[in-house]
Amino acid sequence: MTESQHPSQHQPEQSQLGKTSAYADQYDPSLLFPLPRQTKRDEIGISATPPFLGADLWTAYELSWLNPRGKPQVAIAQVTVPCESPNIIESKSFKLYLNSFNNSRFDDGQAVLDRLKADLSEAIWRGSERRGSIGVKLLTPAQFEQEKIRELDGLSLDRLDVECTHYQPAPELLRADATQPPVTETLVSDLLKSNCLVTGQPDWASVRISYTGAPIDQERLLQYLVSFRNHNEFHEQCVERIFMDLWTRCKPVKLSVYARYTRRGGLDINPWRSSQPQQPPANVRTARQ
């Protein structure tokens, strides 16, 4: 894939997902495979500017390179990709790209961070006249013990004993009682599961929904979240679908949806979407991650 290719030519089935791949161990930014966000946004009724802001919070646990003397170095990378970028990066291509650092020499960690930031920024903005950047942070081994495990805060929907019969997204389940005074609440569930759009492999997640507006029926909300169980879609797309279904059917005044997916191939992806400008959530992993 060359930089001259337009992202509209990129389709998930053209990526390395589900295919036998050669693992390059020399630095190679061409391995990154961007996919346009708009294709899936069209499916959920977003044809213009989305009604949300947000970011995709990536954590890369398998990052290594060689110092000038050939000694291996390791780090954890935290990457923040703004949701207004035209592309996402297909996760296996991200893994292959990170592996290409393994036997490449860099002067120091800052040089690695600079390459990550430049390469990932180019990929997510490829094909667009607009340009932006991404956030990249490297955690060294001396900082590893500072990394905490924390569950998503909020009232657990999983406490509810509900019957579940839908295993494909069923937005018709969602209901808010507009006759009641508005509430502000945060609801969480560990029962979100979807499948990879290409390979069908299971993706497991915890999700937090915060809103202000007419009270949302919690039992029906839990049934709705469970309905993603056999749905094939990438993490970012699932979270945007959840946001749009809640936004259009329950009509809250404010809404944010945040999901933390378990890692695969040394990567976890944690999309966050919000109707209001605010700081992204802290990139803190849950126990299952």
Q: Pick out the residues of the known binding site for NADPH.
A: 91-92, 264-265
Q: Contact at 8 Å (CB) between 240 and 259?
A: no
Q: Contact at 8 Å (CB) between 166 and 191?
A: no
Instruction: Read off the tokens for 37.
Output: 């966000």
Question: Cα–Cα distance between 143 and 221 in angstroms, integer?
Answer: 39
Question: Cα–Cα distance between 146 and 110 in angstroms, integer?
Answer: 20
Interior angle at CA 173, CA 204 and CA 56, nearest 5: 35
Residue 41: count other Cβ atoms within 10 Å of its Cβ: 17
**Half-sphere exposure at residue 229, Cβ-oriented, CA atoms within 13 angstroms:** 11
Task: Say which amino acid occupies 281.
Answer: P
158 is catalytic: no
- The annotated binding site for substrate is made up of 89-91, 235-236
Give the gyration radius of the chain's Cα atoms: 20
Helix, strand or coil, per DSSP, at residue 104:
coil
Q: Which of 56, 119, 190, 203 is catalytic?
A: 203
- The annotated binding site is made up of 89-92, 235-236, 264-265
Helix, strand or coil, per DSSP, at residue 120:
helix
Question: Cα–Cα distance between 144 and 26 in angstroms, integer?
Answer: 26
Q: Judging by DSSP bridges, how do beta strands 183-195 and 202-213 pair with one another?
A: antiparallel
Question: How many residues comprise the chain?
Answer: 289
Q: Which of 83, 190, 196, 245 is catalytic?
A: 196
Q: How far is CA 240 from the centre of its chain?
A: 10
177 is catalytic: no
Active site residues: 196, 203
